[in-house]
Amino acid sequence: MRTSYHDIKAIVLTRIRDNTLPPGANLPGEIDLAKEFGCARATVNRAMRELVDEGILERKRKAGTKVKSSPTRRALFSIPIVREEITNTGQKYRYVLIANDVISSPGWLRARLNVKKDQPILHLRCMHYAGSDPYQFEDRWINLAAVPRAADFDFEDMGPNEWLVREVPFTEGELVFSATNASNEVANFLDTSDGTAIFTVERTTWLDKLGVTYARLYFARDHKMSTRL
């Protein structure tokens, strides 16, 4: 068996761990590494590229490849559909539409979604349950100028996040995580008391600079979101 790019990655990582390659150290060029490992340059190249993707190495033409001095590890989050998030844990998913209104866009939302004054916005509020427990309260605004079809869908049986993921492609998105004290309304929906610390996600998506949707997701108390590095 030849040296594969997996092997090369493992070897380089070992050398970084045992300090043979300390942070900031330069690696040999691809041609030298290929000779050392007895493989083609393309194989070395693939291993190096993946280590760059993983935030371990830095490369510059002419300057060469080196170990990142502050190894900025990157965490990868997948943004699942709420229904799948719940059913994947073996619990039963229940969805309830609370309110469904067409409004004219308020100023703060116009700025965020980059829409013109008085354009119609669909405002939805819904609850997602895991078994009998509240899981997430979703406060969502959809730009009807960007997604006119949303006006014809009733969202009684399917949540807007799931519908949007299926129906509307997007080019860019932003996620913001924070903690908020539950308002009286949010506390009621999430079956907790006023002021409880609530893990909150704000999500905005755009399709070619046109704002598509903005949502605030309030999770049940003590909700944790985790990821491996």
Partner DNA sequence: TAGTGGTCTAGACCACCCC
Partner DNA sequence: GGGTGGTCTAGACCACTAA
Amino acid at 52: V
Pairing state between β 197-207 and 93-104: unpaired
Q: Minimum distance from CB of 182 to a second copy (Å)?
A: 8
Closer residue to a second copy in complex, CB, 41/120: 41
Q: E strands within 87-196? A: 93-104, 120-130, 133-143, 172-181
Closer residue to DNA in complex, CB, 60/116: 60
Say which residues have a Cβ less than 8 Å from residue 111's Cβ, sequence separation at least 6.
none
Asked if residues 25 and 63 have their Cβ atoms less than 8 Å apart, the reply is no
Which position among 10, 111, 151, 176 is part of the footprint of a second copy (CB under 8 A)? 176
Asked if residues 83 and 36 have their Cβ atoms less than 8 Å apart, the reply is no
Q: Minimum distance from CB of 165 to a second copy (Å)?
A: 6
Asked if residues 219 and 198 have their Cβ atoms less than 8 Å apart, the reply is yes
Using CB under 8 A as the binding rule, whether residue 77 contacts a second copy is answered as yes
Using CB under 8 A as the binding rule, whether residue 85 contacts a second copy is answered as no
Cα gap 13→16, rounded to integer Å: 5
For DNA, the binding residues (CB under 7 A) are 2-7, 27, 29-31, 38-43, 45-46, 48-49, 52, 59-65
Asked if residues 210 and 116 have their Cβ atoms less than 8 Å apart, the reply is no
Q: Minimum distance from CB of 25 to DNA (Å)?
A: 13
Enumerate residues 11-50 that contact a second copy by CB under 8 A: 13, 16-17, 19, 22-23
Cα gap 185→218, rounded to integer Å: 11
Using CB under 8 A as the binding rule, whether residue 6 contacts a second copy is answered as no
Q: With CB cut-offs between 5 and 8 Å by kind, which of a second copy, DNA, none does residue 2 bind?
A: DNA
Rule CB under 8 A: which residues touch a second copy?
13, 16-17, 19, 22-23, 53, 55-56, 67, 70-81, 84, 165-166, 169-170, 172-181, 195-200, 205, 207-208, 222-229
